[in-house]
Amino acid sequence: PTSPNYLFIPHNNTLRPEYDAGWSIREVMPTNSVGIVTSRDGLAVHFSKQAAKELLTKLVTLPQETAREELQIGEDSQDWTLSAVREDLRESKLREDCFVKLAYRPFDVRWTFYTGTAGGFHGRPRREVMQHMFRNNCALLTSRMTKGEDFAHTFATTFVSEKILLSPKTSNNCFHFPLYLYRNEDSLSIGGQRLPNFAPQFLKELCTKLRLPSAGKTGIPECVTPEDIFHYAYAVLHSPG
């Protein structure tokens, strides 16, 4: 075994140098995180916007312990308390624009209510990444590891995503890589200038490999679009070879 991989079973390392010469997707697209953790899917994930509205209205209008019992919420946890959830919902005033679509499982898009407040309605909303998904955007979804499964853990979405979207049976974490970053990061409102979520050093090396000059301030190779790079990465991750 060699550092940093002290493996417990023999591995064929013939192609290891070629593999190590490549780029990690987390280095290529440095703004990323796992998907959101709702802490209570039964409250936070819904098949329709209307169903979400009806339940959340009950949640904020009923007395707290009545809501806990009637909605079968259960006890509080370390990163989720009913009092904090109700406060978060009341501060948001159940705004229409906070009802958003959620990539919950592959080809299973549902509805949730997104405030971006950690420890609020969602236990871990991953605002630093998910805030970029409320404009014109798409995201690459993949897993860093698998548990007893062959790797087939790659997807794409235009919505915020849930933490175990790609593998609910084994709970492999699903990492979310937005293609674009919007500069008005302190706001969830629509608008703002966007930049591609690619590391400058990666783009510099890509220009060298393609023998193309960079175009503009983004560093993207001339005649190449951010979508081209995104699509190529998605294809590579889907390749059985």
Percent of the chain with pLDDT strictly greater than 90: 73
How far, rounded to the nearest angstrom, does the alpha carbon of residue 90 sit from its chain's CA centroid?
26
pLDDT at residue 238 tops 80: yes
**Regarding beta strands 180-182 and 139-142, do their DSSP bridges make them parallel or antiparallel, or are they unpaired?**
unpaired
Which H or E run includes 40?
none
Helix ranges (DSSP H) in the chain: 16-20, 25-28, 41-44, 49-61, 64-70, 82-92, 127-130, 200-210, 226-238
Determine the Cα–Cα distance for residues 199 and 142; give it in Å rounded to an integer: 18
**For 158, which DSSP code?**
S
Confidence of residue 168 (pLDDT cuts 50, 70, 90): confident
Determine the Cα–Cα distance for residues 99 and 108; give it in Å rounded to an integer: 17
- Which pLDDT belongs to residue 130? 97
49-64 pLDDT, tens per residue? 999 999 999 999 999 9
In whole numbers, what is the pLDDT of the chain averaged over residues?
A: 91
- Say what angle helices 49-61 and 82-92 make with each other, to 10 degrees: 110
Asked if residue 63 lies in contact with residue 187, where contact means CB atoms within 8 angstroms, the answer is: no
pTM over 0.75: yes
49-104 pLDDT, tens per residue? 999 999 999 999 999 999 999 999 999 988 789 999 999 999 999 999 999 999 99
pLDDT at residue 129 tops 70: yes
pLDDT at residue 5 tops 80: no
